[in-house]
Structure 1
Amino acid sequence: MSDNKGLASGTLGAFESAIMGIAGTAPAFSVAVTTATIVGAVGELAVGSILYCGLIMFGIMLAFTHLNKITRHAGATYAWVGKVFGESWGFLAGWGLLIASIFFMVSATTPAATATLKMFSELFGAPEAWVKDVSYVTFTAWVWLTLVTIVVIKGIQHASYAQLILTVIETVIIFALIIGAFVEYGDKPAHAFSWSWFSPTSFSAETFAQGALIAIFFYWGWDVTMNLGEETKEGTPNPASSGAFWAMVNLILFFIIMMIVVLITLTDAEIAEAETNVLYAIADKLFPKPWSYLAVLSTILSTIGTIETQILQFSRSMFAMSRDNALHPIYSKVHPEWKTPWVATFVIWFLGSVLLFCATMMPTVQMILDASITAIGIQICFYMSLAAFACAWWYRDKLNKGLGTSVSYVVWPAFSGAFMVFMALYLSYTTLMNDDSEDNLAIYLGFAGLLIGLVPMFLGKLRRAKIKQIDFNR
């Protein structure tokens, strides 16, 4: 591990880390942006997909918390996989996260933009057509991306305070929706509750893989706690690990309950029509105006929160890789006053802006989201499965340390990693066989983003070899 070069160490405790982990998945945002996609793909089995994917992701969380015992590192997966399997695999794991984060700048800022335009339409008389107009949506998304980047670059303390405020407000609004939904529609649900929603036998292999891959998007983001490990306080257990654990427990319960709320409140047609405004559609059926607009506010706040944490995760990963000369050293520059990797932060803002510009060429907002979500799912499966396998291999001697220890350190992480690989490959195969040009584009984007990483990986090897040669000649 390279020495820490200027990050604000000792800033975050376990509570702040847990808030970062929850905010990283952005509960309101995840429900708003992904519900229409997952219900469209697997219908009522979306509830089971959320549950089983949550159990798989719990195994990944165990892997991360155990690997964090090896070393706290801003690069997290990049550093751990590199230590266990070698620098090439470590680089590719880190690259997978970087690429997923860049695509996420499109899928995250878009719901914030549509929610903002929805509120302007309802409250200030802006044209309703703006909400579905790709140009207006992408420009508004770019404005949000820029504003959040400014907050992040100002320092981790500012970012953590902002996350706490946003998460508290978002939580209060969401709980009001949950209570209202069960009171109003518990006895007259749009979809009658059934335990078959949870049954593994209700799934085919294809629907299980498809639902789980989309559900991954609900959970992704909690691992930002690990990338902030160098900026946490000392303690046992480590605050980053504690934060990840409690964030995951809360998220699994929340997403299951929230998906049930969506199904009992909205019909399939209403879910499809709502697109990225599912929470507003629920609130509009529960509360009179203007109170229903609070659901739009929760989506905006949640989205801002997840944009912030993803920029943090990207910038810390790029900083760590640059610090180790895996990427160009310029990305490891830390602002002398704010103690943030400002160059790496600027990079994700710039690349996110470029992708948002490219997104204006797609015909609908929903198509933009569907393509980015699928591409991100493949990249998440790649880098998280590598971390899971690294944990299982590093701690393989614990297989004879008792059932609980062997399951926690080896069996559960290894199973979760293997299942993530299966999901990505199976869905890619079935999608390409269906020969749908739009779905195929998402698959190609997912794998192309990973393959591009071979170029900077090769350049990094040349750069390190040159440095070693110079040191040798001295």
Structure 2
Amino acid sequence: MADDLQKDALSLVHSVVMGVAGTAPTFSISATMATLIGAVGVLAPASLLYCGLIMFGITFAYMHLNRLEANAGASYAWVSRIFNRTLGFFAGWTLLVASTLFMVSATIPAGNATLLLLCPSLVNDQLAVTLVSMGWLVAVSLVLIRGIALTGAVQAVMTAIELAILLVLTVAAALRFGPAAAHRLSWGQLAPSAFTPAAFASGAIIALYFFWGWDVAVNLNEETRDSARLPGLGAALAMVIITSAFTAFAAVALLALGDDEIRNASTNVIFAVADRLFPRPWSYLAVLALMLSTIGTLETSILQFTRTMFAKSRDGALHRRWARLHADWRSPYWATLLIAGLGCLLLLLSLLFHGVGEVLKASINAIGVQVAYYYGLAGFACAWHFRHRARQSLADLVLMVAWPALSAVALWASAVVAVSQFDLPTALIAVGGVLLGAVPLGANRQARERVAATPPMAGRPSDGG
């Protein structure tokens, strides 16, 4: 079809790379570790481990649902098919909102890292950080418009370098600080009984921000070889890598840094650890890893946004212009320009907050709740659709029904508890952003009904490249 995304452009390796890059290990640690440790202290490694186990239930849901239908809209398409179009619309809309908010929390660390390398005196200048962040957002968007094949190749190189640097830092810190730890860690801190319900929910919502993004591998299914199988497998393999990396580095950060050091490090926890391990300029390898990670997660978040918007617009759930593809590069360029513009606008609005740390905290918490919502919908959809398979084997009962459903319950319960503890602006951003979807839902109802009456693959928008 002339209006299809680029077919067979990605392999299993690309799916794993995209899944890892989507979570942006170095960026997530830098942007969020101080917030997580501030919330749960020495229970941070356990929070990440348990959140990883919860997330595996959603990963299994995505694997099985992708075999049911390989659709770039992922949770939007599956929830629409299994439950109804309204719930499906909000599953996709929530991802769009979270991705847009992420343009702020992703680009600010990139701006920080760039200034730390080029002009350290401006690192604490919020206007300078914001302008550099906008520059990164525009540059990454232009690369993505160029097409998925180039993006996949660039992403593979960046992710390999990032993981290598992170591994070196983790091993070196464990060997050096283990005997003289800043915090005393014990196996008992990994027990569920170490948490109160409120502490678990608070840690889970923040930890969810670490893991969000692995599902980009599935959003790229229409552009991946063996689209029904490889994207889901790639997402699962990526989850193994990132759960191990996050849990290990949380322990390393607690071993290497005291509470005041972690608090003062803010969005530069990785650099603070590296600075204690290696003399400068070698410690600046951590800054390089952060820049690569941030660029990578910017790419994957924009990919998720544009592929979800492409799928929804193709179905008539949003205006058809957002499904137009570039004539040569087969990329949804209008959708890419949209999120770049929205991201720049939000970055400018973030100047109204008092300091970078306040902006990051608000966006991290809001995104965590929104991700819990649409991941949870996918988990429930999988459990409901495959409920009859539970009678056939224990494996089907666990992997298709029980684990996805329990993960969905845990995510939604954590989101409800977390929202009750937010300040009013953060709660409004988290919940109001989702409810705002009622506007385009109503505006495009007639278009959806027309598409629903059209045979599959027909009536798609013309190529606007």
TM-score (norm 2): 0.95
Structure 1 unaligned regions, length at least 5: 432-438
> How far 1:443 sits from its partner (Å)?
1.3
- Establish whether residue 161 from structure 1 lines up as the match of residue 131 from structure 2: no
Q: Is the 8 A contact 1:327 1:456 kept in 2?
A: yes
Match in the other structure for 1:181 = 173
> How far 1:45 sits from its partner (Å)?
0.7
- Establish whether residue 196 from structure 1 lines up as the match of residue 188 from structure 2: yes
Match in the other structure for 1:401 = 392
Match in the other structure for 2:337 = 346
- Establish whether residue 455 from structure 1 lines up as the match of residue 434 from structure 2: no
Residues in 2 aligned to 1:419 and 1:156: alpha-carbon distance in whole angstroms:
34
Residues in 1 aligned to 2:449 and 2:27: alpha-carbon distance in whole angstroms:
44
Match in the other structure for 1:435 = none
* Matching residue's letter, 1:159: T
SS in 2 for 1:347: helix
Q: Is the 8 A contact 2:217 2:234 kept in 1?
A: yes
Q: Is the 8 A contact 1:280 1:293 kept in 2?
A: yes
Q: 1:234 aligns with which of 209, 218, 226?
A: 226
* Matching residue's letter, 2:20: I
SS in 1 for 2:96: helix
Structure 2 unaligned regions, length at least 5: 456-465
- Establish whether residue 144 from structure 1 lines up as the match of residue 136 from structure 2: yes
Aligned length: 455
> How far 1:196 sits from its partner (Å)?
2.6
Match in the other structure for 2:54 = 56
Residues in 1 aligned to 2:105 and 2:453: alpha-carbon distance in whole angstroms:
44
Alpha-carbon deviations, 1:286-322, whole Å to 9, x = none? 0011000110110011010000000001000001100
Q: 2:13 aligns with which of 15, 18, 41?
A: 15
Q: 2:285 aligns with which of 286, 290, 294?
A: 294
Residues in 2 aligned to 1:171 and 1:466: alpha-carbon distance in whole angstroms:
47
Alpha-carbon deviations, 1:187-215, whole Å to 9, x = none? 11111221132111111110000000000
> How far 1:345 sits from its partner (Å)?
0.6
Residues in 2 aligned to 1:307 and 1:94: alpha-carbon distance in whole angstroms:
19
Residues in 1 aligned to 2:68 and 2:175: alpha-carbon distance in whole angstroms:
48
Alpha-carbon deviations, 1:237-270, whole Å to 9, x = none? 7110110110011111111111111110111111
After TM superposition, the structure 1 = structure 2 runs for residues 1-400 of structure 1, keeping only pairs within 5 Å, are 5-121=3-119, 126-127=120-121, 130-234=122-226, 238-400=229-391
Q: Is the 8 A contact 2:315 2:448 kept in 1?
A: no
Match in the other structure for 1:412 = 403
Match in the other structure for 1:436 = none
* Matching residue's letter, 1:195: W
Alpha-carbon deviations, 1:63-89, whole Å to 9, x = none? 000000111111011100000011111
Residues in 1 aligned to 2:186 and 2:80: alpha-carbon distance in whole angstroms:
45
SS in 2 for 1:276: helix
Alpha-carbon deviations, 1:106-127, whole Å to 9, x = none? 0100111111111123xxxx42
Rate the CA distance shift 1:48–1:4 in 2: closer, same or farther, 3 A: farther
Q: Is the 8 A contact 1:133 1:365 kept in 2?
A: no
* Matching residue's letter, 2:187: W
Moved more, 287-296 or 183-192: 183-192
Match in the other structure for 1:446 = 430
Residues in 2 aligned to 1:12 and 1:195: alpha-carbon distance in whole angstroms:
41
Moved more, 192-201 or 392-401: 192-201
Q: RMSD of the alignment, in Å?
A: 1.6
Residues in 2 aligned to 1:308 and 1:454: alpha-carbon distance in whole angstroms:
28
Rate the CA distance shift 1:41–1:335 in 2: closer, same or farther, 3 A: same
Rate the CA distance shift 1:466–1:413 in 2: closer, same or farther, 3 A: closer
Rate the CA distance shift 1:103–1:192 in 2: closer, same or farther, 3 A: same
> How far 1:371 sits from its partner (Å)?
0.3
Q: Percent identity?
A: 44
Rate the CA distance shift 1:325–1:272 in 2: closer, same or farther, 3 A: same
**Divergent runs of 4+, >3 A:** 464-471
Rate the CA distance shift 1:145–1:369 in 2: closer, same or farther, 3 A: same
> How far 1:465 sits from its partner (Å)?
4.3
> How far 1:463 sits from its partner (Å)?
2.7
Residues in 2 aligned to 1:77 and 1:84: alpha-carbon distance in whole angstroms:
10
SS in 2 for 1:334: coil
> How far 1:470 sits from its partner (Å)?
12
Residues in 2 aligned to 1:10 and 1:415: alpha-carbon distance in whole angstroms:
34
> How far 1:440 sits from its partner (Å)?
2.4
Residues in 1 aligned to 2:167 and 2:47: alpha-carbon distance in whole angstroms:
22
> How far 1:5 sits from its partner (Å)?
2.2
TM-score (norm 1): 0.94
Residues in 2 aligned to 1:20 and 1:222: alpha-carbon distance in whole angstroms:
7
Residues in 1 aligned to 2:258 and 2:450: alpha-carbon distance in whole angstroms:
62
> How far 1:466 sits from its partner (Å)?
6.4
* Matching residue's letter, 1:451: L
* Matching residue's letter, 1:442: T
SS in 1 for 2:123: helix
* Matching residue's letter, 1:215: A
SS in 2 for 1:175: helix
Residues in 2 aligned to 1:161 and 1:443: alpha-carbon distance in whole angstroms:
39
Residues in 2 aligned to 1:92 and 1:351: alpha-carbon distance in whole angstroms:
19
SS in 2 for 1:277: helix
Q: Is the 8 A contact 1:330 1:343 kept in 2?
A: yes
Residues in 2 aligned to 1:314 and 1:5: alpha-carbon distance in whole angstroms:
18
